[in-house]
Structure 1
Amino acid sequence: MSRLTQWAAALAAAVLLAGCSGGPSDTGRDEGKGRSAPAPVPSAATPASELPSSLTSQRLAWGRCKATAGSPAPDGDWQCATLKAPLDWSRPDGETIDLALIRARATGKRIGSLLFNFGGPGGSGVDTLPSYGPVLGTLRQRYDLVSWDPRGVSRSEGIRCRSDRRIQAAEAIDTTPDTPAEERAYFRDAADFGQGCKKAAGKLLAHVSTTDTARDLDLMRQVLGDSRLHYVGFSYGTELGGVYAHLFPRRVGRMVLDAVVDPTADSVGHARNQARGFQRALNGYLKSTGQDPEQGSRKIADLLERLDAKPLPASSGRKLTQTLALTGIALALYSESSWPALTLALSAAERGDGSALLALADIYNERDKSGRYGTTTHSQRAISCLDAKQRPTLEQARKLLPEFEKISPVFGSSMAWDTAGWCHAWPVPGQYDTPRVSAPGAAPILLVGNTGDPATPYEGARRMADELGKGVGVLLTWKGQGHGAYGSGSDCVDSTVNAYLLRGTVPKDGKVCS
């Protein structure tokens, strides 16, 4: 997937929670009619004769969570533990790696564990789940809330591919190159990043795929004592959920996939989808401010062209480049609650001050005031480039430019170049063109699609439902804005999801929340 798919922890704190202020509400009504999700099976680990007992019978030592250099210890009654998983799932009795977990125990009569993946790939569940705590109070009455840092992420053997100094230096690279010299610099930087990942991660780099993580997820289910997996995945977490359902259809319990990735799209298809999705979200923003979308987009594109030639100064002494401005604009489109900040930032940039757009870009890039950067994008690139087999060339990216720029005059060029640059000269080969998610025999899986989602456009939810198979994928549509629907202010969405997770009530396929 392209770089704009990132669901960073910084974004969760700065944007998502602002959109979650309404919180979920369980009204007690039976939302929808028809099939019911299977009743929870009594907690007893499913036998797994193919795995050594040293893995399946391990006991998690839950204890107080510790702070890290980039994140304080969570407040409240959160507990942390470490799970051992095989480095190489083809050799489950071989070398192991440590996966960091976090949980909050159920406050009432317990159904089981409810596992969360917040996307990315590369997002830290250990950091993100506590920030969701106030939103998930209703679900916590019946579930232990559990998340983890997937392999290669943060506390779970996290991959860091370059230093803070080199990250900042790379911000000067033009990600929409206009000259042969800029093209050489762009692809040289991409190759250098991959070599940095190889040096830092070593043999782990070939074992951080979504399939590897799906197998980790099933091991987690067993060790937690659940016969079926109850799971909520956002954004990339929906792809992970789909891959899990394909591998273990009979072990699917109550599964919600929100902000659904299109499983039929290859890497170029994802870029095309996102160019369309971000432009659609930008059009919604421009309409909300009384602007004509075509004229407003042209004005922003003109600003980006000026920045390409001459970056703007910022109060910090740094410069706002075209790439950083585009990143700041994209971040603000993840949530309708940040549209006012985008208006102020664009107005300031038009007056010659790049500070506000640069601040938005820094949130997305996880850069703090001291110049330290987070590593979400490092893990994201390692995982997505191991997943994606497709490796478009420079010439192929050039040919995509007219089509992509027609789709989006603002995001198209960057998305087109990204198809070739993101995994250029990657040290390990990709595994598939598109993930396999068909899951015949699985319990009903609830898919939540948001018509205004920029990063995972709405059409992907219907395609995921089709790929999962008849009687498995159940689509719930929200006519809203932003990346994701649950907890974003729709009582209809929240009560439908809660009824499914808490009581097993499956809504009618195609239900719409406006």
Structure 2
Amino acid sequence: MRLRAAAAAILAAILVAGCQGASQTGSGTGSGSASRPAATRASASGTGAGSWSSASATPASDPPVASFDPAAHGVFTGDTSPDRQKAGSGDGVVAPAGLVSPPAGSGVSRYLNSKINWKACGRFQCGSVAVPMDWDRPDGPAITLRMKKATATGTRRGTLFINPGGPGSSGQDMLNRFDASAFPDHDIIGWDPRGSGQSTPVKCGTDKQTDAYFNLDSSPDDQKEWDALIAGNKAFAQQCRAASGSLLDHISTIDTARDLDFLRYLVGDKKLDYLGISYGTFIGSTYAEMYPGRVGRMVLDSAVNIAGDDSVTQVMGFDKAFRAFAGWCAEHNDQCPLGNTADKVIASTTKFLNQMDSRPLAVGSRELTQSLASTGIAFYLYSGTESYQYLGAGITWAQRGEGRYLLAAADYLNGRDPDSGKWESTAYAFPAIACRDEADRGLAGARTQWATDSKKAPILGPTFGASLSCVYWSAQPAEQMRITAAGAAPIVVLGVTGDPATPYEQARWMASQLSSGVLVTWRGAGHSAWSLGNSCLRSAVSEYLNAGNVPRNGLTC
């Protein structure tokens, strides 16, 4: 959701003039190098690929608050994260912002009498509460979770927790633009998951150091460029460890699910009502696996891959979405002068991106590189048809030598304020959470995956490049749970047929793998069925969350 909100801002703020003038301006050439691929930054974590073994027990229907028994869940096996760096002996002494002393008492019980500290903040209530940094060592230091609440305007039936995805995007920001009137009988709480936003956020390097990281050439052509990419990823991981310390070891989605169960307990709800988008579907499905008996009305929108099936990857979703845009562009050549057939639009764009590898575009004191251009293109695809006109203008301007529009789009997607140059916490929370959630196959696996992606997604796969952000991370992955949520109430899974970031197949997989999954499909383009979908889709969701009417499995809107 942060990505889509940023899309709306940039479309309105910086590209209207560019769109109006793009077809009237003379030609130019583009050039470039690369940053971390949009496919990596935009992806939502799922479980690792590989085989899985059955649980030795089943999750208790009513376990203690925020409990977790790894032995009660099936696990994936296979990926071993062979190249991750070791944390230094002094790294744990760093005190991240928001680190506090635990409440009086001992064990988890010391937290059970906590109250969320609510205060008025404009039209909302803003709150905070301490949680253990390590739920398995509750007598250790605590971190601070911050949240925002819209109070029910009807007859209150409970709380609806919402999450916009990321990982690492702000639930508080999501509530700022959320249509609370659609759910009048719920208090609606958007919280910043641990490590993100205002909830004891992950810190890494300086803005200058982070610029250098995102300016890396992620599509290396020779060993020298591979060496630079490897060194840059190692340095970034070390910067994050130096600034965040042991927080990096306690930032998985399992940790966040335990926080969410604690928040459910504090607001007095016996069941969790929840709406999560993109990576937020991983939070929700993880919660359902850990606490199936506490699932109330749960909607998981634009589902991530929990199946360990890599037959359809994210970059393939972006390629499919770009082909849809190319078809639109060819039909609206007066607004999008990139070619009068879809194939010509694709050829024009890939030629431009290939040229950017050796000839980046100067944009003030910065450069639009090949990977940053690819990131900018991906940014617009999140909003589906709403942004096609602006995407065509951005590419056209860049081809004519004006790269500021695609660079600003890349900045929004990567988490950089294009005006101040300051980096948002999402730029750091994303790898911190994703790399704790996902095991990897090291450098060799990343190189193999890039080669596969380039073949399966020939438009954007080559320039998205190789993803090394987790390869040299300094925290080991958390338990790789097999998620089925046996015993949970119906869980409604939403899928968009033209979703670029979480391909539609992933929604089908999630709905099938969840024991109580119910699939609802929106035939459309863009990321988030709830945000972009039609009245049929929104009515199905509203009827379920408001009245408990479970939609028909397989409903297509």
Shorter-chain TM-score: which interval?
0.7 to 0.9
Deviates more, 1:165-174 or 1:237-246: 165-174
- In structure 2, the partner of 1:157 is 200
- In structure 1, the partner of 2:116 is 60
Task: After TM superposition, give the deviation of residue 328 of structure 1 in Å.
Answer: 0.4
The answer to whether 1:430 aligns with 2:474 is no
Task: After TM superposition, give the deviation of residue 17 of structure 1 in Å.
Answer: 11
- In structure 1, the partner of 2:93 is none
One-letter amino acid of the counterpart of residue 256, structure 1 = V
- In structure 2, the partner of 1:456 is 502
Give the direction of change, closer, same or farther, for the CA distance of 1:137–1:16 in structure 2 (3 Å limit): farther
- What is the RMSD of the two structures over their aligned residues, measured on CA atoms? 2.3
One-letter amino acid of the counterpart of residue 552, structure 2 = K
The answer to whether 1:334 aligns with 2:400 is no
One-letter amino acid of the counterpart of residue 447, structure 1 = V
Q: What are the residue-to-residue correspondences of 1:371-410 with 2, within 5 Å?
A: 371-393=421-443, 395-410=444-459
- In structure 1, the partner of 2:517 is 473
One-letter amino acid of the counterpart of residue 540, structure 2 = T
Give the direction of change, closer, same or farther, for the CA distance of 1:415–1:312 in structure 2 (3 Å limit): closer
- Deviation string 1:137-190 (CA, Å, 9 cap, x unpaired) is 121x11001011111112111012111112223343211011111111111111
One-letter amino acid of the counterpart of residue 429, structure 1 = Q
- In structure 2, the partner of 1:125 is 171
The answer to whether 1:185 aligns with 2:241 is no
- In structure 2, the partner of 1:244 is 287
Give the direction of change, closer, same or farther, for the CA distance of 1:16–1:114 in structure 2 (3 Å limit): farther
Distance 1:124 1:463 in 2: 27
Runs of 5+ unmatched residues, structure 2: 14-61, 68-106, 331-339
Distance 1:401 1:207 in 2: 29
Whether contact under 8 Å (2:66, 2:262) holds in the other structure is: no
Distance 2:365 2:141 in 1: 48
Runs of 5+ unmatched residues, structure 1: 1-5, 19-44, 66-75
Distance 1:496 1:15 in 2: 31
- Deviation string 1:55-87 (CA, Å, 9 cap, x unpaired) is 22211121034xxxxxxxxxx421111121111
**1:322 alignment partner, one of 348, 356, 370:** 370
- Deviation string 1:287-344 (CA, Å, 9 cap, x unpaired) is 1112544442232111111111111123x34221111101100000001212111111
Distance 1:252 1:389 in 2: 27
Give the direction of change, closer, same or farther, for the CA distance of 1:206–1:46 in structure 2 (3 Å limit): closer
One-letter amino acid of the counterpart of residue 422, structure 1 = S
**1:136 alignment partner, one of 173, 180, 186:** 180
Give the direction of change, closer, same or farther, for the CA distance of 1:47–1:202 in structure 2 (3 Å limit): closer
- In structure 2, the partner of 1:196 is 239
Give the secondary structure class of the aligned counterpart of 1:109: coil
- Deviation string 1:220-268 (CA, Å, 9 cap, x unpaired) is 00001100000000000001100100000000000000010010137xx
- In structure 1, the partner of 2:30 is none
Q: What are the residue-to-residue correspondences of 1:83-94 with 2, within 5 Å?
A: 83-94=129-140
- In structure 1, the partner of 2:316 is 276
Distance 2:531 2:240 in 1: 35
Give the secondary structure class of the aligned counterpart of 2:496: strand
Give the secondary structure class of the aligned counterpart of 1:226: coil
One-letter amino acid of the counterpart of residue 233, structure 2 = A
- In structure 2, the partner of 1:230 is 273
Whether contact under 8 Å (1:104, 1:146) holds in the other structure is: yes
Give the secondary structure class of the aligned counterpart of 1:487: helix
Give the direction of change, closer, same or farther, for the CA distance of 1:381–1:457 in structure 2 (3 Å limit): same
Distance 1:479 1:154 in 2: 33
Whether contact under 8 Å (1:249, 1:441) holds in the other structure is: yes
Distance 1:414 1:386 in 2: 26
Whether contact under 8 Å (1:397, 1:416) holds in the other structure is: no
Give the direction of change, closer, same or farther, for the CA distance of 1:346–1:96 in structure 2 (3 Å limit): same
Distance 1:352 1:235 in 2: 34
Give the direction of change, closer, same or farther, for the CA distance of 1:405–1:332 in structure 2 (3 Å limit): same
Identity of aligned residues (%): 40
Deviates more, 1:253-262 or 1:7-16: 7-16
- In structure 1, the partner of 2:413 is 364
Whether contact under 8 Å (2:360, 2:367) holds in the other structure is: yes
Deviates more, 1:195-204 or 1:366-375: 366-375
Give the secondary structure class of the aligned counterpart of 1:242: helix
Give the secondary structure class of the aligned counterpart of 1:448: strand
One-letter amino acid of the counterpart of residue 505, structure 2 = E
One-letter amino acid of the counterpart of residue 186, structure 1 = L
Distance 1:363 1:48 in 2: 37
Q: Number of paired residues?
A: 459
- Deviation string 1:347-401 (CA, Å, 9 cap, x unpaired) is 11111221221121122233231221212021010011011112331x4333344
Whether contact under 8 Å (1:15, 1:334) holds in the other structure is: no
Task: After TM superposition, give the deviation of residue 426 of structure 1 in Å.
Answer: 1.2
Distance 1:350 1:233 in 2: 38
**2:539 alignment partner, one of 495, 498, 502:** 495
Whether contact under 8 Å (1:400, 1:416) holds in the other structure is: no
One-letter amino acid of the counterpart of residue 194, structure 2 = R
- In structure 2, the partner of 1:26 is none
Give the secondary structure class of the aligned counterpart of 1:439: coil
- In structure 2, the partner of 1:29 is none
- In structure 1, the partner of 2:461 is 412
Distance 1:148 1:308 in 2: 40
Give the direction of change, closer, same or farther, for the CA distance of 1:15–1:479 in structure 2 (3 Å limit): farther
Task: After TM superposition, give the deviation of residue 101 of structure 1 in Å.
Answer: 1.1
Give the secondary structure class of the aligned counterpart of 1:417: coil
Give the TM-score, by structure 2 length.
0.78
The answer to whether 1:509 aligns with 2:553 is yes
Distance 1:163 1:49 in 2: 35
Give the secondary structure class of the aligned counterpart of 2:518: strand
Give the direction of change, closer, same or farther, for the CA distance of 1:208–1:397 in structure 2 (3 Å limit): closer
